[in-house]
Structure 1
Amino acid sequence: MLKQTLAALALGSALLSAGQAMAADYAIDKEGQHAFVTFKINHLGYSFIYGSFKDFDGAFSFDAKNPDASKVKVSINTASVDTNHAERDKHLRSGDFLNVGKYPTATFASTSVKSTGSGTADITGNLTLNGVTKPVVIAAKFNGEGKDPWGGYRAGFEGSTTLKLKDFQIQKDLGPTSQEVQMIISFEGVRQ
């Protein structure tokens, strides 16, 4: 009986390892302009200010047959913020907002992925921004995967989340309509 139990455990472990091995590793394709980290925030209740981070890097693992085993990690150079307005960008880099002199990098590392429907999932992870680490949930959509014209293999996703500025010690009061910022992440990854 002990031998059968040990054999069953060994087989289960081998199958689990084989299932995990099926997940492929991808590098986010930022060089090919196929990845974006953007945001929008309400301006006085009348319009929105849109911006992006131009310098970031990341990687993910993904298996379409087992999406809940996926993982993602992204690192953002906060000084690369760009809202198409030099003075505003300078202010955003200051201690009133991103405090890039003290905290030059923001990171996101997933802790779990939970499928929510056909091609969608909630990605929970830890976001570190302005020296504060908080759990956030990104509502993600799988855009597709397949071979590219250059002999590689790609997978693409888009996701969004809403952050409360005060949760990340951004104390500058921009008025009642501007307490939150919506983050939108869109990227292709190249299989490694």
Structure 2
Amino acid sequence: MKKTFAGIALGSLLALSGSLQAADYVIDKEGQHAFINFKISHLGYSWLYGRFNDFDGTFSWDADKPAESDVQVTIQTASVDSNHAERDKHLRSDDFLSVEEHPEATFKSTDVEMTGENTAKITGDLTLNGVTKPVVLDAKFLGEGKDPWGGYRAGFEGSTTLKLKDFDITKNLGPASEEVELILSVEGVRQ
């Protein structure tokens, strides 16, 4: 489920950039300016929050041709972090992410549809737990410009909701916990 988040988030960011010409960006993982977070209901009584700590990605963006944008993200599924060691061990098991068999989750964009001046729907193929499904990320462009270190950056946020069973995660957590929300905030550095 976390892999999916990461893929969706990156796709959203690419679609919304306001650059006037095509440019390639690398997600700023080293500076910790990118996050792939998730939340899922716990029995309908509270929210469980978590994130993936290790992921990489790139995007290409042309404001004049948003449909030609490209987003690719790879998440290391064993990096799942819910701030609880025993729960994280369970999330890595075959009940959920099966990290030994599927150490990576990937997202590859297939379509970008602008829905407003700074919003888009980014469709792509998410591979999680060995299953590939199309997902749609609701994305918002946050801004772009020069940074204090002589680089140029673009930032986005995005979200989507995934059904666990769509990715062969069949552990029964109750009716309130059949879906997980993926929330992404990504900053890319132009190459």
Q: Which residue identity is paired with 1:144?
A: G
Residue 191 of structure 1 corresponds to which residue in structure 2?
A: 190
Residue 73 of structure 1 corresponds to which residue in structure 2?
A: 72
Residue 106 of structure 2 corresponds to which residue in structure 1?
A: 107
Residue 24 of structure 1 corresponds to which residue in structure 2?
A: 23
Structure 1 residues not aligned, in runs of 5+: 1-20
Residue 124 (structure 2) pairs with residue 129 (structure 1): no
Q: Deviations over 1:32-64 (max 9, x none)?
A: 010001000001111100000000000001123
Instruction: List, as ranges, runs of 4+ consecutive aligned residues in structure 1 with deviation greater than 6 Å.
Output: none
Q: Distance in 1 between matches of 2:70 and 2:155?
A: 14
Whose Rg is larger?
1
Structure 2 residues not aligned, in runs of 5+: 1-19
TM-score (norm 1): 0.88
Q: Distance in 2 between matches of 1:146 and 1:70?
A: 19
TM-score (norm 2): 0.88
Q: Which residue identity is paired with 2:73?
A: V
User: Aligned to 1:31, what secondary structure does the other structure show?
Assistant: coil
Q: Distance in 1 between matches of 2:46 and 2:116?
A: 32
Q: Which residue identity is paired with 2:90?
A: H
Question: Of the two structures, which has the highest relative contact order with CA contacts closer than 8 Å and spacing of 6 or more?
Answer: 2
Q: Which residue identity is paired with 1:121?
A: A
- The aligned length equals 172
Q: Distance in 1 between matches of 2:137 and 2:38?
A: 13
User: Aligned to 1:22, what secondary structure does the other structure show?
Assistant: coil
Give percent identity, aligned residues only: 73
Tell me if structure 1 keeps the 8 A contact 2:139–2:159: yes
User: Aligned to 1:99, what secondary structure does the other structure show?
Assistant: coil
Tell me if structure 1 keeps the 8 A contact 2:21–2:63: no
